[in-house]
Structure 1
Amino acid sequence: MGKFIFTIQGEGRGHLTQAISLSQLAQEAGHEVVGYAVGSTNNRKIPSFFTDYIGDKPLLQYESPSLCYGNGKAVQVGKTALQAFSKFKTYWNSASELASFIDENRPDGIINFYESITGLHQWRTGAKIPCISIGHQYLLLNKHFQTIPEKKIDQFFLNLNTQITAIGSKKKLGLSFLPLENDTKRNIDVIPPLLRKEVKELKSTAGKSWLAYLTHFRLAEDIMAWSTLNPDIQLDCFWDHPNHKETFQFSSNLTFHPINAELYLEKMSQCAGLISTAGFESIAEAMYLAKPTMMVPVPNHIEQMINAFDGAQSGAGIAASTFDLNLFKVYQKDHVTDYSTYHHWIQESSRLMDIHLRELIQPDRKKKSSWKSLFTKRIHWTLPKNNSGLSIPKI
């Protein structure tokens, strides 16, 4: 059995919940997680649902790249890219912090949840410790994955960033809503979404209220406006607002909650449907609980645009460009989806991840040095052939 360190992108809740899920699966299989390293921006506080889960396990938080939203709702691609160059020294120091943390805890392997500093660390150290990178983003590199036809430049930069996060990784694991063929040439294996035990243990009931989850609080303005015009629909919305750390009652039919994992899952199990900013994890949880989803990507957020497209193709719900919840109201009247294939796929998570964790820390006995391979090839090139066409040694 192996000992692992998890490195996690700390923006939003998706990668953090995936790390919790894999921690549970790994421990059930007899492996041990000896430490967690979370990359965030401006010392953003790590959500309590994550710190409560890991308890007294070693935890490192360091500065890492994140998306820039500016003063509006949309992602600012140029500013995000500029940040990566202007703060390179800071990120180099973060890689040093991560190196010290890894040396101190001595893992057999690293499990990387789309954290770019991990790629920088693996490049600096020559990937001395074996690493696997996990995330839905790696599925986008799979030649069998169908993506949106527009925004090719944005997709190029997204995939470039994804490649950077996976520098030095022995394999990339692409999370997928439904089974898809592996891309062996690019070393990408397809695995099911990683759902926590808390999600799998929930009993789903058909409620009347709607649930919303926003990755950025400024997007709440549209939901506020719609709820005012539709007082007959009860809405619970979860957000990470800097000034509203407690429950905020906007109106009689719209309540905002700070991020709270337990309450969020409770509300999801009892809701009639989910309105989401197309985060992969929220869609995956809603599908497991058979809740139809309206997926509204953050403007200019190419990853969420692809998530929404993929989710709609997989039967999760509808993709939309705005929070026109009238579309969702109409959709729910006729929504009938069979989630049995999805549930069977989810059941494969434990078996597949145990295989990947074991393979990661096994010595690669077949691997030859590049010098030896090159030398062998040159020997074959210089060998003369006899009349039968077989190579014979020169004496």
Structure 2
Amino acid sequence: MIVDGLAQSARFSRLSTIHSQPSTLRALLELKVAFVKPALFPATVSRSCLFVINGLGMGNSTRCHAVMEPLAEAGFQVHVLTSGNGLTYFQDKDCIESLTPMESYFYSGKDGGISGWSTLKSIHSLAKIAKTKKAQLGKLLDQFRPDVAVIDSEYSVAPLRRRGIPIVGLNTSEIIVTEYLKRRSVPRGIRSHFWFVEFSDYLFHRHYCDLVLSPFPLRTRTRHRKFKRIGLIARRAVIEKAKAAPVRGLPSPRGLRDVVFMLSGSVHASNIAFDQHQIPFQIHVVGRPGESRGNVLYHGRQMDNTGFLARADALVINGGYSAVSEAFVLGKPVFVVPVPGHAEQFVNAQLVSDLGLGFVATEADVLDQLLGMYAQDCWTGLKPRPPTFEIDGAREAAEAILSSIKGAAPEGTGTRYCTSP
């Protein structure tokens, strides 16, 4: 069982406050490690886990954070190598021992969308970034050897493989491939992104990882034995807020008071033209700067958006899997605006519609859809939901990571299901 009784990790100390092991400190400073905790240098250390996270968007960081918490409570020392938004997100998280910056990959596209062809044309630039990332990872591994590494949307794994460190992937590519190939018709604009990016992502994880954890709201079979289905991964704070909310059905559209537009975390977040509509309820825009007017309030970039999620009567989100997962946990009506040309976000949006959680929209029509349903006081076209969704993926992932290390056979209990309202 994942140990609940272990003491919570101490607050972070900056490198300047640590006075022991000067040679190790000098090495870490050369790596530009953002911070470490004093507990990193005891005479004997417990098991350790390195998370290597693409920090381009926020979703990878929130998903990994949810898994880190039970690992830390089980006595693991958790280290993070990340970039971009990930560095900001993790800088005050108590469950990690060290935070180290690395270079970041990127998607290519045009007109605010994603293009597989454009990404393929950027292969030389991406290869240079990959070389830098391998060197950064290798330097960090020269200073300490984790018992296991967890990767989320990162691909520079050669230094891990050379050292024989088990690699566990947190990844949805197998789900995307399965769901995409089920569909009889898909938009032409996402095909290049699917084959060049998503299918390649699936092949990479199938070949280079020892185990891949695929969060999904229902128990279904995987395409290959290396992949393991687990429940959806959501932050602990989101699950707690969902539990604390009164059990009730969906609000009627006319009952909407607060609608949260959570278009944050990625450089490809959507732009919605609010000034062209009369808004009868309050809209909270999270992740975008702007001038608040009337019923539209801008809250800018938020590292912790759980308060907004809890107060929302309905959500408008992009199609990132972490945002979609937390929408499933909260059980509120959702409008998903997938980034144009992004195959994964297209599939995620279709899942939301197919499983009765909400609707697929675009930047141009999302307000028209929402206001039209408000005027009719009807969630037009909403499909029936399954009775329950699997939402205990964070605990399941932590147990799988523990089990990936020889000699660990953890058990645990948790919140396995949430009931559809």
Q: TM-score, normalised by structure 1?
A: 0.77
Deviates most, 57-66 or 136-145: 136-145
CA separation of 1:289 and 1:194: change in aligned 2, threshold 3 A: same
Matched with 1:313 is: 354
Question: What displacement does 1:330 show?
Answer: 4.4
- Which amino acid is the alignment partner of residue 359 of structure 2? I
Note if 1:36 corresponds to 2:84. no
Determine the C-alpha separation between the residues in 1 that align with 2:87 and 2:162: 32
Matched with 1:57 is: 97
Helix, strand or coil at the partner of 1:178: coil
1:100 to 121, 131, 139: 139
Matched with 1:377 is: none
Determine the C-alpha separation between the residues in 2 that align with 1:320 and 1:144: 18
Matched with 1:256 is: 298
1:233 to 242, 259, 281: 281
1:362 to 394, 397, 406: 406
Question: What displacement does 1:11 show?
Answer: 1.5
Determine the C-alpha separation between the residues in 2 that align with 1:218 and 1:114: 16
Q: Contact 2:262–2:318 at 8 Å: present in 1 too?
A: yes
Matched with 1:74 is: 113
Matched with 1:20 is: 65
Q: Contact 2:79–2:96 at 8 Å: present in 1 too?
A: no
- Which amino acid is the alignment partner of residue 282 of structure 1? A
1:134 to 170, 177, 199: 170
Q: Contact 2:315–2:332 at 8 Å: present in 1 too?
A: yes
CA separation of 1:148 and 1:283: change in aligned 2, threshold 3 A: farther
Determine the C-alpha separation between the residues in 1 that align with 2:344 and 2:135: 29
1:149 to 171, 185, 207: 185
Matched with 1:213 is: 262
Matched with 1:378 is: none
1:177-188 matched pairs, under 5 angstroms: 177-183=217-223, 185-188=224-227
Matched with 1:170 is: 210
Determine the C-alpha separation between the residues in 1 that align with 2:236 and 2:116: 36
Note if 1:278 corresponds to 2:319. yes
- Which amino acid is the alignment partner of residue 350 of structure 2? F
Aligned residues: 342
Determine the C-alpha separation between the residues in 2 that align with 1:109 and 1:192: 21
Deviations 1:100-158 (Å, cap 9, x if unpaired)?
A: 2123232100011121223x444xx4461001101222322458984573244432112
CA separation of 1:235 and 1:267: change in aligned 2, threshold 3 A: same
Question: What displacement does 1:65 show?
Answer: 1.6
Matched with 1:116 is: 155
Note if 1:341 corresponds to 2:383. no
Question: What displacement does 1:317 show?
Answer: 0.7
Alignment identity in percent?
A: 18
CA separation of 1:61 and 1:25: change in aligned 2, threshold 3 A: same
Deviations 1:21-44 (Å, cap 9, x if unpaired)?
A: 00112223x141431011x4xxx3
CA separation of 1:61 and 1:256: change in aligned 2, threshold 3 A: same
2:56 to 11, 27, 32: 11
Q: Contact 2:173–2:201 at 8 Å: present in 1 too?
A: no
2:368 to 326, 336, 349: 326
Note if 1:268 corresponds to 2:309. yes
- Which amino acid is the alignment partner of residue 230 of structure 1? Q
In structure 1, the gaps of 5 or more residues are 365-395
CA separation of 1:104 and 1:219: change in aligned 2, threshold 3 A: closer
Q: Contact 1:249–1:256 at 8 Å: present in 2 too?
A: yes
Deviates most, 44-53 or 58-67: 44-53
C-alpha RMSD of the superposition: 2.9
Over alpha carbons, which structure has the higher Rg? 1
Determine the C-alpha separation between the residues in 2 that align with 1:144 and 1:177: 17
CA separation of 1:25 and 1:106: change in aligned 2, threshold 3 A: same
Determine the C-alpha separation between the residues in 2 that align with 1:172 and 1:163: 11
Q: TM-score, normalised by structure 2?
A: 0.72
Matched with 2:23 is: none
Deviations 1:261-312 (Å, cap 9, x if unpaired)?
A: 43x2111111121111111111211221121110111111111111111221
Q: Contact 1:115–1:165 at 8 Å: present in 2 too?
A: no
CA separation of 1:145 and 1:105: change in aligned 2, threshold 3 A: farther
Q: Contact 1:23–1:33 at 8 Å: present in 2 too?
A: no
